[in-house]
Chains A and B, each alone.
Chain A
Amino acid sequence: MMPLAMAPAGEILIIKNLRCNEETKKHLLEMGFSTGEKAEVIKNTSSGIIVNIKGVKIALNRGLATGIIVEKE
């Protein structure tokens, strides 16, 4: 278990938990970050993280990515 912000590029991860306020949590869910979903880290830079989730590329800043708890597949 680790925050998405720590995950290196190329890793395939499973979303475990969302640690953020309810509103952000809902929005993340709508964008596809549901528990148990697979996400592939495309890029992890100082600007933020790009992941591929449900066939869509999503860019997040580090703050948001820290609140997304993931586990290696």
Chain B
Amino acid sequence: MIIAALAGNPNCGKTTLFNELTGSKQHVGNWPGVTVEKKEGNYKKDNNISIVDLPGTYSLSPYSAEEEIARDYIINSKPNVVVNIVDATSIERNLYLTMQIAQTGTPMVVALNMMDEVESMGIDINTNKLSEMLGVPVVPIVARSGKGIEKLMAVTKDTAQRGIATLKQDVYDKIKNIEENKNDEEADILAADMRYEYIDKVVDSSVFKPQIKKLTTSDKIDQIVTNKVLSLPIFAVVMYMLFACTFSENFLFIEGLPSPGVWLAGVVESLWGSLTGVVDAALVSAGVSDWLHNLVIDGIMAGVGAVFGFIPLVLVLFVLMSFLEDSGYMARVAFVMDRIFRKFGLSGKSFIPLLMGFGCSVPALTASRTLESDKDRKITMMVTPFMSCGAKLPIYLMFVATLFADSNRTAIIFSIYALGMVMAVIGSLLLNKFMFKAENSGFIMELPKYRIPSLKSVGIHAWEKVKGFAIKAGTIILFSTILIWFLSNFNMSGMCDMEESFLAIIGNSIAWIFAPLGFNDWRASVGVVTGWIAKENIVATFGQLFAGVTDEAVLEAVMAGEQGLPAIGDVFTKVSAFSYMAFNLLCMPCFAAVGAMRREFGSMKWTLKAIAFQMVVAYVVALIINVVGNIIF
């Protein structure tokens, strides 16, 4: 068995090569922007060669978490051979990593990628000379078309079997000596200079560039999309299209035309509905007991169905996001937005997750992976749920229809959305000041050349994301649904009405917590709890608990704000209703989002910290609303 590790700069075509080598089946979740974990697969033409895809890195010195993964793997796990992918269009910068890998003494092969682009730029590379100067085999390839890949693998296998280290050991030893003998920080910089000095020599003698430089298409596009005046309007249009394709009920302003996302969601929902019907009939004909029927249909099928219902939205959103990321446009957006977001203690790269938060926190939290600064990423994830997601809207509509019927409804709803945005800004400022001591990292980002993404790679990206989302969010949703179903249907003496259930007991016992916020009522506290399963659940809970409404059609009318629930007026005032909306907006998001947080933080401790932060913010804001509101009104 030969283990070959793929290493290279971000955007050098590493993932494309990995897919080409292993076949898409072995692909285990690559996220545009950052490959956080390493991935493994077998070479499809020779199962004895195992391919490990390492995160894209600029160097082996640990600057970020990804670089550390790559370095630790090469040094500690000792692969038989490293295949270093070098983007031939920016060979000088790419060779820096090559020099560092060579220095580790691991047998290596350089795969000189994007040779087609190099040729069209009129650049001529003498690969024999390059190989001789670097002391390692160099194989020219075009990863996208698969050209040169068989030869690359033959050379890789040969190198691994012979186990030869680099030939130009003298050069690497010299650099190593400097690093080891001088232990001040200057040594690293001196070593870096020496590497570049040698790279200059290598490039001078093996790469021949034409003298005349012409403006490339990428340059021309950049002149427009990073233009002072045009950049923001262009971005607004692109984002609007992204959301319209995913969430719009009136796509392209055509009344009643569903967007691809909404259409697909409808299809999945109706399929799930039929499946539920089949299961229902099967259970009835099997003569199972009431509680089991109730658990399967109202608990499991309804709960899991809620997740499946929004998978199509996530899929469409991610296909489009992957397309934008693969094209290279997102890097420009991050650059343009950075100045504004820096003021809030965030990075330009935080913008995408926050914007996506208006749709759904789950994909938004996942999108935060593109942030490479750990601090920026954590803060972004902690405040993303403050952006009011689609599922929270029915809550506002319900209250507005009942309690604010005489006020400007749009203004009330808009003020809740605005509150979320303001709290995201204040929250990140506070987190920056008190929780994260690290200084603001500067913004530095490579702007890759624009490329038309291949449908295959976009499809794979999107599918992998959706799959992971469905599995992980599905498990946590399933578990919580069963739990809440149990709590709301049972008490110590067995099955019972909801008013006497464990949930009611719990609701009563925690109601005092919310008393200072203005809603000291067990049904309101139960609403908060069921809201954690899915925020729109609050409306269903209220319908059931306040008015005995279980009819789908009535609930839908309430959710759409077309009909009020007058019974709510007995418990809530305008002030406490606003406080309740604010609390549910800001407090812990639904379990699906918590699952996403858990996955993205990669740590339970940080997930709990984030939840605690959101809870405290929600409580304080709702308290202020209640106290100040009662003084004014």
Contact = CB atoms under 8 A, between A and B. Distances in A.
B90 interface: yes
Contact of A31 (B58, B218, B226, B338): B58
B61 A48 contact: no
B366 interface: no
B443 A48 contact: yes
B228 interface: yes
Nearest to A61: B443
Contacts of A25: 189
Contact of A47 (B63, B96, B339): B339
Contact of B59 (A20, A30, A42, A46): A30
B170 interface: no
A47 B91 contact: no
Contacts of B59: 26, 30
A4 to B, nearest CB: 12
Contact-size category for B: 35 or more
Interface in B590-612: none
Contact of B219 (A27, A42, A62): A42
Contacts of A29: 189, 192-193, 196
Interface in B181-222: 185, 188-189, 192-193, 196, 218-219, 222
A2 interface: no
B89 interface: yes
Contacts, number: 107
Nearest to A28: B444
Chain A interface, >50% SS class: mixed
A15 B55 CA distance: 29
B444 A59 contact: yes
B112 to A, nearest CB: 14
B500 to A, nearest CB: 60
A50 B447 contact: yes
B20 interface: no
Contact of A60 (B61, B196, B444, B448): B444
13 contacts: A26-B61, A29-B192, A32-B93, A32-B96, A37-B196, A42-B219, A47-B336, A48-B335, A55-B90, A57-B449, A58-B446, A59-B331, A60-B442
Interface of A: 20, 22-32, 34-35, 37, 42-43, 45-48, 50, 53-64
